[in-house]
Amino acid sequence: MSWNRTELTEALLRYEPWLVARDLSPNTVHSHAYYAGLLVRWLYGDYAPRGRYPRRDPVSPMRALSTVDLATELQGYRVYLADNGLIPGAVHTYVQGARQFVKWLDSSKDGRQLPARRAEPTRMPPDRSTRVAAAVSTSVPADGWPGEGPVQSAVVAWLVSQGWSIVRVAHTSSREHGVDVIARRDGAELGVEVKGYPAETYSTGDRAGQQRKYHPASQARTYFGDALLAVLSMRDASADSEVALALPDVAGYRGLAERVGGSLLALRIRVLFVSRDGEVRDSGAL
C-alpha cells in the first residue's frame, strides 16, 4: 500500500484513537501522535525546527509513498534534524516517534482499520477523550460536545465528504499555533478557524473539575473575538483563499455571528455551525 498527502493526513486522525485503544498513558498517546504529525508536515515542507530552515525538496502532495519510501524518508528526516541543530537525544525521540507511525501504517491493514472501541472509559482528560471519540466516529461529536476537538473532527470529516483534501489539522489539546484546518479542492485553498464553547469547569491541569472564574457565556464572547481576529488575519494574508469559522451550533454563538453577519458576508468569511450529532451547516456553499 501507499499513501499520498491526503491519505496520510486522514491516517493521522485514525492513529491517535488506535493508540488510545492500546490503553497507553495520555502522555504516551500525545507523544506518538505529535511526532507522527511532525513527520507528515516535514514531508511536505510544512515543518521546520523553530528558527531553522524548511525542507528544500518537499514531497509532492499527490505522490503516493509506500512504507519503503517512508522508511527512506525517515533517514533523510534524521539527517535534517541533526543538521538543523537538534541534540542527538531529541533527534532520536523525533525519529522514533515518527517510525512508530510508519510501522503502524505497515501493520494495520493499510492504516485504515481500527480495533473495536473499548466499553470502559479511557484514562484521558476530557478534552482529549472527546477528540478521540470524534475521530473514531467522525460524524458524531459525542461526549464533550461542544468542545473544540469534536467540532474540529466533525468539520474535517465533513470537508472530506465534500471532496476537500485535508492538508493540515492542528492538535487542539496541545493548543498548537497556526490555522486549525487547511484543505484544498480543485486548486482552491480553505483555512478554517475552529472554536469550541467554554465549559463551566476546568478540564485539565491542577484545577481540573473546579468552577471557572468567568461564566461560559461571557467567556464565549472572548472566544468569538479571538476567532474573528484569526479569520480576519487569514483573509488579510490571502485575498483569494476561502476562509471559514467553525463553531458549535449553540444559541450564544449564533447570536454573535448574526450581529456581524453583514461584515462576514462582505469579507467572504463563512461560518460553519456544527450540531451535536455532527451535522455541519454552512452559511455559504463551499
List pLDDT tens digits, range 48-87. Answer: 877 677 788 899 988 999 989 999 999 999 999 988 888 8
Rounded to the nearest integer, the mean pLDDT of the chain is 78
Span of 18-32, 146-160, 216-230 with lowest mean pLDDT: 18-32
pLDDT at 43 over 60: yes
| pLDDT of amino acid 77 | 93
Span of 49-63, 123-137, 164-178 with lowest mean pLDDT: 123-137
d(Cα 156, Cα 171) in Å, to the nearest integer? Answer: 13
What pTM was estimated for this model as a whole? Answer: 0.50
| pLDDT of amino acid 106 | 85
Nearest to 284 by CA among 275, 147, 273: 273
pLDDT band at 239 (very low <50, low <70, confident <90, very high): confident
Segment 166-188 mean pLDDT:
79
CATH for the stretch 126-282: 3.40.1350.10
14 SS3 class: helix
Domain with CATH 3.40.1350.10 in the chain: 126-282
113-123: pLDDT as tens digits: 433 333 333 33
User: What sign results for the dihedral spanned by CA atoms 250, 256, 257, 259?
Assistant: positive
